[in-house]
Amino acid sequence: MQNSEIVLIGGSGKTGGRIAAKLEELGLAVRKASRSTSPAFDWEDRSTWRSALKGATSAYVAFQPDLSVSWAAEAIGELCRIALECGLQHIVLLSGRGEEGARRSEEALKASGIDYTILRASWFCQNFSEGAFLEPLVAGRLELPAGDVREPFIDAGDIADAALAALTDIRHRNRLYELTGPRALTFREAVAEIAAASGRPIDYEQVSMADFAAGLSAVGTPGPVIALLEELFGQVLDGRNSEVMGGVTDILGHPARDFTDYARKTAATGIWRA
């Protein structure tokens, strides 16, 4: 296990916050790096990168807004260059399944010469409780441009556990783990499970991409965010990512959490109540 400082780029996100808590429980030195921390880290201001990385020996990297954007791979490559100059030895990259931009970013990391671990994850279960889907679910109706294609939703807790293992055990260096849940569901099936766990009716409706984008625009969603969501729903949810993979078992030695367990545990908090 490493006994040196670990920096979490995106340390306040769905995975970063969970990883920080786990590292702190182990008594390891950890610091979060984002636009709101000191020193700050801003993906769009490269002058902040060096000070955020200085003093650390390893890093967990969750790129914003998403590795599918056109400039992500070049940014990851530059981050790795600066990381090496700062003395970092290892980067754990959170990647996404089925995203061409994510693959380019993975290759940039591999080519940099720094030790790496790539965690290539499916859609998060927590998008239903900690993201854009929460408000519509509370209102009782979720509308998305997703039909019968199945997705093996992954619990963010499993990603955090995998990142913890990668950051603290050198056996996971220079390896790629494809992380999914243990079974694939359609979005309609996922919403039905949430409704059952919550004990209240919640409807799901498939809408066209045009109607989806128009709805986002109507509530003031920025254009670049709409374009990103259109790309993700159009590219990632085309069936190529429906297969369940064994990455969680490979790195953690136990199966991934099931969506039903996530739904029941989250429903018990009352977050989906009207």
DSSP 175-204: EEEEE--SS-B-HHHHHHHHHHHHTS--EE
Q: Look at residue 23 in the predicted model and tell me its pLDDT.
A: 96
The pLDDT score that the predictor gives to residue 1 is: 40
| Cα–Cα dist 152/256, whole Å | 10
Distance separating alpha carbons of residues 195 and 89, to the nearest angstrom: 45
Q: What tokens appear for 254 in the block?
A: 């136990």
- Cα gap 205→182, rounded to integer Å: 25
Give the CA distances from residue 222 to residues 75, 84, 145, 217, in Å, rounded to whole numbers and listed in that order.
22, 35, 18, 7
Q: What is the distance between the alpha carbons of residues 96 and 122, in angstroms, rounded to a whole number?
A: 6
| 11-33 mean pLDDT | 94
pLDDT in tens, 54-95: 999 999 999 998 898 889 999 999 999 999 999 999 999 999
Strand, coil or helix: 111: helix
Cβ density class 122-156: b for 16+ within 10 Å, e for less: bbbbbebbbeebbebbbeeebebbbeebbbbbbbb
Best CA proximity match to 177, nearest among 239, 82, 250: 250
The domains found in the chain, sorted by start residue, are: 6-125+154-182+242-257 (3.40.50.720)
What pLDDT is recorded for position 111?
98
Q: pLDDT class for 274, splitting at 50, 70, 90? A: confident
Can you tell me which residue has the tokens 């998008």?
Answer: 127
pTM over 0.85? The answer is yes
Sign of the four-CA dihedral 234, 126, 136, 36? negative
d(CA 203, CA 264): 18
Of the listed ranges 50-54, 64-68, 141-145, 220-224, the least confidently predicted one is 220-224
